[in-house]
Structure 1
Amino acid sequence: MKFTIVTALTSVLALGASAYPIKGDTVNCRSGPGTSYAVKKTYNKGFEVKISCQTPGEVIEGVKLWDKTQDGCYVSDYYVKTGTSDYVAPKCPTSGGGGSCSKYPRSNQATVDLIAEFEGFRANVYTDPTGNPTVGYGHLCTKSGCTEVKYPIPLSKANGKKLLADDMKPKEKCLTEMTNDKVTLNANQYGALVSWTFNMGCGAAKGSSLIKRLNNGESPNKVISEELPKWVHGNGEVLPGLVRRRNAEVALAKKATSDKALPVKC
């Protein structure tokens, strides 16, 4: 019995000592492991946080780990001086509270086809206007000659769409993370918004009145029909290609389907 008490006391003392200083000037602690989650607290440089568990999340400056503090929110391990890039606390559960749900719906084929139509297809590697090697439906390569692409080049259109579906994953994830449980979308409504986010970027989507209205519980088709047509400008001018794309996205959203997308149930 004495040994058990001593062991338990040692564990408590060790846990109490596991505090690590914040190394950023002002660091946001969020409801989940990514910058698209809501800010719950802000830590100043030097403040010591206690870490209850750690989990993979959005990569920040090459660091994938996020620390769940005893305040119940998440901060990138990049901003916490733990002395290592490895785990210093148990792994967080893969589901449960605190916004740590890592699931997000995959887009249906209608969404992949819509995005492919507007991105255009190139079977062989080419250099885009910004000087980046590109292939397929606008895939920006990370290596010379696009050697990281797992499909044979020249690409077939079928493999090009598989590559496009891979490229859509970050947009699907960020769209899921920026919506709350009030947002109920079927697969086509979700796909329309994935196409829009893929085109305009996660940052623009997150700060939009469209997402704000959805999170306030407004009707998805009403919001999509009223908000998407506003996103047709480039350099201060209305671009016909964006007009066609927004119209196609609205049409997809209005197409009935029984397939559900959001909210995600973890």
Structure 2
Amino acid sequence: MTASAIMTPLGIAALKAREGVRLGAYRDSVGVPTIGYGHTKGVRLGQRITQAEADALFLEDLASHALPILSCIAVPVAEHERDALISIAFNIGVGGFRASGFLRRLNAGDRAGAAEAILAWRRPPEILSRRQAEYDQFRTPYAVALPRARRDDARPVAVPRSPDRAPPATAVRPGPLARLRQRIGEALRA
């Protein structure tokens, strides 16, 4: 399954902007050796990677976080909501996502309560602006406002240029539930 089948190109751009990229290993805010766009598996301090390797690790991490969480969302979600949820899961982990109050509220049909529960994930303190941006992304369709990496960023994330992926203006796109079912089906066949 491709990354664009999991998240929109705009969602991927927002997630990459939130994570930032570092080609040299470092300790994250809780001391875990990290490299690339937040990759932690098998990282050794002193390790260096190329941008291409960072991108490949990002795609692996995206699939390992997105596919498990998509299967536990029991209600239809719009693209901006799905992108925000995957961004949160990328940061808090699949286990944290599955146990979260925002997932329980979302699956109960309480979108407003789910959005508010997103803001409960505020540790470490420097994550709050990111979490607020994910809250905004979850609540706001892309046609209304583009997402920001952090709420206090001066500009939204740039729309990725990919004219070969854009559907013709006259094309009819399936609804969010149909697209989610299609993605889950593709993941199960892969």
Q: Same fold (TM over 0.5)?
A: yes
Identity of aligned residues (%): 21
Question: For residue 167 of structure 1, what is the aligned residue in structure 2?
Answer: 61
Tell me by how many angstroms 1:117 deviates: 2.2
- Structure 1's 256 and 131: CA in aligned 2 closer, same or farther, altered over 3 A? closer
Question: For residue 123 of structure 1, what is the aligned residue in structure 2?
Answer: 23
Question: For residue 189 of structure 1, what is the aligned residue in structure 2?
Answer: 81
Tell me by how many angstroms 1:224 deviates: 4.0
Tell me by how many angstroms 1:110 deviates: 2.2
Question: For residue 151 of structure 2, what is the aligned residue in structure 1?
Answer: none
Is 1:201 matched up with 2:118? no
- Counterpart mapping for 1:151-166 below 5 A: 154-156=49-51, 160-166=54-60
Summarize deviations over 1:210-234 as a string: whole Å, max 9, x none: 111222223x3x2443221121133
Instruction: Flag structure 1 segments of 5+ consecutive residues without an equivalent.
Output: 1-104, 148-152
- Separation (CA, whole Å) in 2 of partners of 1:144 and 1:160: 14
Instruction: Flag structure 2 segments of 5+ consecutive residues without an equivalent.
Output: 144-172, 186-190
- Counterpart mapping for 1:1-266 below 5 A: 106-124=6-24, 126-128=25-27, 130=31, 132=33, 134-142=34-42, 154-156=49-51, 160-180=54-74, 183-218=75-110, 220=111, 222-234=112-124, 239=125, 241-253=126-138, 254-256=140-142, 260=176, 263-265=180-182, 266=185
Q: TM-score scaled by structure 1?
A: 0.46
- Separation (CA, whole Å) in 1 of partners of 2:121 and 2:44: 33
Tell me by how many angstroms 1:115 deviates: 2.3
Q: TM-score scaled by structure 2?
A: 0.62
More strand by share: 1
- Bigger Rg over Cα: 1
- Structure 1's 122 and 256: CA in aligned 2 closer, same or farther, altered over 3 A? closer
The Cα RMSD (Å) is: 3.0
The residue type paired with residue 122 of structure 2 is V
Tell me by how many angstroms 1:144 deviates: 6.2
**Matched residues, number:** 145
